[in-house]
Structure 1
Amino acid sequence: MTKIKKIMITAAASFIGLGIAGLFTFAWTLSTNVMHPKYTCSEEHFIYCGDPSQLDLAFDDIAFKSADGTDLSGWYIPAQASDKTVIFVHGHGADRHEGMRWFKAVHGAGFNILVFDLRNSGANAQTFSTMGYFEREDVVAAVDYLYRQKAIYSIGIFGTSMGAATSIMAMQADPRIDAGVFEAGWANLEDLYAEIIQQYVGLPSFPLLPLTTWILEQRTGMDMAVLNPEDMLADIAPRPVFIIHCSGDKLVGLSHGERNYAAAKQPKEYWQSPCETHARAWQSDPQYIEQRVTHYFSEYL
């Protein structure tokens, strides 16, 4: 009997060890997917995958550095005799092309455009992504560029998905950003990851989420607890915010847009777009939403 018990204990220990190893491996893989997203420019989503000349817009290639020395590249699209600029900030696994579908309308309304690749994206050096933790400093660097290189002091921002969360964090920290449009952003990143694990992986969020969070923080230096825009939106007032979210968003659910809007103080605007795919509000009704966005920036910049 003693020998059988020893065999059973050894087998149980081996099974538990394999389970822990498997859980750790899975969590490591999830953290890798966050740090190193795969990207291909899809015209179905981005509409345009060339440069602004595809829209008959003249532009300059620009480069600047984030506070930690990270090199960033982008485009500057000047509007005639304009002292107002809108910065476009793309999402996770995307690059500067994500905002191009908005350029024609925004530029036509009289705004200069600055659009750039966040770290680990587009034409920049491949490092790792941090869901806005370090990327918010890239946004602040873009504002610095406008102040120092272009003498532009009236600045709006348009962020999509991770770019929305990143832009909210940057706007809360930097009073030089006067107005923000935020499409398809999450309210709380850990809540979002819990929803993704349950919906797409089919597992309970515990213990996979805490382990993945810990691994991400150890590998990148990010702090997941501070990546929650709903905790920051109230601090932006009295500067205005405009929240946009697809009603049928299957990746970042509509509840996140509703939570962000509820957290913001006046002046604020909201549009629940009748779209079923993440971050495709423009595709749902280009004429309507272009008019609203350009009117918003015209009013507040």
Structure 2
Amino acid sequence: MEPTPASAAPYASTSYGSAINPVISRKKWWILLPVLSLLSLALCAVLAFHGYIAWMLARPAIAPLSSNPQLAAGLAYEDVRFASSDGASSLEGWFIPAEDSDKVVVFSHGYGGNREELWVPFYSLAQELNRQHYNVLLFDYGYVQPDLSVTGGVRESLELEGALKFVKEKGMKHTYVWGFSMGAGTALQTALQNKQIEAMILDSMFLLEPDTMFHNIKNQIDLPKFPSLPLIRLFFPILNGTSMDQIPYRTVKETDYPMPIFFIHGEKDVKAPYEVAQEIAGNQSNPNSRLWLLPNARHELIYKANKKEYLRRTMAFLNSVVGSGSS
């Protein structure tokens, strides 16, 4: 007996569907596969690119030393070596002695620089300080060494504390810190805990916080803040061992420091926005603290553009601080 059309129809429909659906699925898969592959490659490229930025930020190219205090400025000096306060870093520097003086200025160099910081230049400032009977310590932060990275002041503040301990052991009774760029930001982080610093001069102060970091990146590469900033912050601790959350930038900006601080900044500084220095300076209540804001000055180039005025103001600040007992 032949099957009725009614009974045959469902069978035919099921058979047809079973035959055609895998074909459709395979076609869709072959269309989606290259699209998914391209999306995966694009995602990997974006992640790798931002990882590379995070890696490079912590490893700036640093020129080797080109001279020394004797050759560059006629200053007698000692090669010195000391450890960071936690003993994790071994640091090298030059100690320039002043006759019959227990006052010392410790220089804190900036990102991408070393104990010479030729564009400031350190040798000229050390020469003037020595002439006015200040001992001087110039030293390299640990990231100048090829196996260490920049940590935005987390490790560097411990290294500056090591420098302060070193000069104290050499008999220095009055210690002042002169910081530039990130070295100035590091000095502020160190001063949160260290009571040895009697006064600070902070030139072109740079504090590593997310917005300032992105501001500098955007000056080089026009990236959107999202997702670039979150991705760089994600990769920074993975690749460099330090999270930006470890940098106490909020505390630094809100603290009223006990010691007098001389802030020097240029309004045309495209690396370290002057508003940050202005904000921190505005929080200071020490009567000897002050802010010198120059309308046309650029990052770390203030001395070169205003040599006489720069020396007059900075030396007057130091000498007035010494004469008043620092605070």
TM score, norm. by length of structure 2: 0.82
Does 2:265 align with 1:245?
A: yes
Does 2:181 align with 1:161?
A: yes
> 2:290 is aligned with what amino acid?
E
Q: How far apart are the structure 2 equivalents of 1:85 and 1:289? A: 19
2:175 and 2:198 in contact (8 A); partners too = yes
Structure with the greater alpha carbon radius of gyration: 2
Structure 1 gaps of 5+ residues are: 42-47
Distance 1:233 1:112, change over 3 A: farther
Q: How far apart are the structure 2 equivalents of 1:263 and 1:14? A: 54
* 3-state secondary structure, aligned to 1:143: helix
Q: CA deviation at 1:223?
A: 2.7
Q: 2:79 aligns with which of 41, 61, 65?
A: 61
2:83 and 2:90 in contact (8 A); partners too = yes
Structure 2 gaps of 5+ residues are: 1-23, 323-327
Q: 1:94 aligns with which of 105, 110, 113?
A: 113
Distance 1:94 1:259, change over 3 A: same
Q: CA deviation at 1:168?
A: 0.8
1:188 and 1:230 in contact (8 A); partners too = no
Q: Residue by residue, what CA displacement relative to the aligned partner does 1:214-261 show, whole Å, maximum 9, x if unpaired? A: 211122332312435453255352211111112211222323322332
Q: 1:193 aligns with which of 196, 210, 213?
A: 213
2:253 and 2:279 in contact (8 A); partners too = no
- Alignment-derived partner of residue 275 in structure 2: 255
Q: CA deviation at 1:2?
A: 5.0
* 3-state secondary structure, aligned to 2:112: coil
1:146 and 1:152 in contact (8 A); partners too = yes
* 3-state secondary structure, aligned to 2:60: coil
- Alignment-derived partner of residue 33 in structure 2: 10
Distance 1:216 1:177, change over 3 A: same
Does 2:70 align with 1:35?
A: no
Q: How far apart are the structure 2 equivalents of 1:37 and 1:265? A: 36
Percent sequence identity over aligned pairs: 23
* 3-state secondary structure, aligned to 2:116: helix
TM score, norm. by length of structure 1: 0.88
Q: 2:234 aligns with which of 208, 214, 218?
A: 214
> How much is the aligned-residue C-alpha RMSD, in angstroms?
2.2
* 1:101-180 to 2 correspondences below 5 Å: 101-121=124-144, 124=145, 126-148=147-169, 150-180=170-200
> 2:78 is aligned with what amino acid?
D
Q: How far apart are the structure 1 equivalents of 2:50 and 2:271? A: 19
- Alignment-derived partner of residue 18 in structure 2: none
Q: How far apart are the structure 2 equivalents of 1:281 and 1:228? A: 27
1:164 and 1:182 in contact (8 A); partners too = yes
Distance 1:242 1:49, change over 3 A: farther
Q: Which range is displaced more, 217-226 or 17-26? A: 217-226
Does 2:303 align with 1:286?
A: no
Does 2:91 align with 1:52?
A: no
Q: Residue by residue, what CA displacement relative to the aligned partner does 1:192-223 show, whole Å, maximum 9, x if unpaired? A: 12212333211112212122122111223323
2:265 and 2:297 in contact (8 A); partners too = no
Q: How far apart are the structure 1 equivalents of 2:219 and 2:321? A: 39
* 1:223-234 to 2 correspondences below 5 Å: 223-229=243-249, 231-232=251-252, 234=254
> 1:191 is aligned with what amino acid?
D
Q: CA deviation at 1:115?
A: 1.0
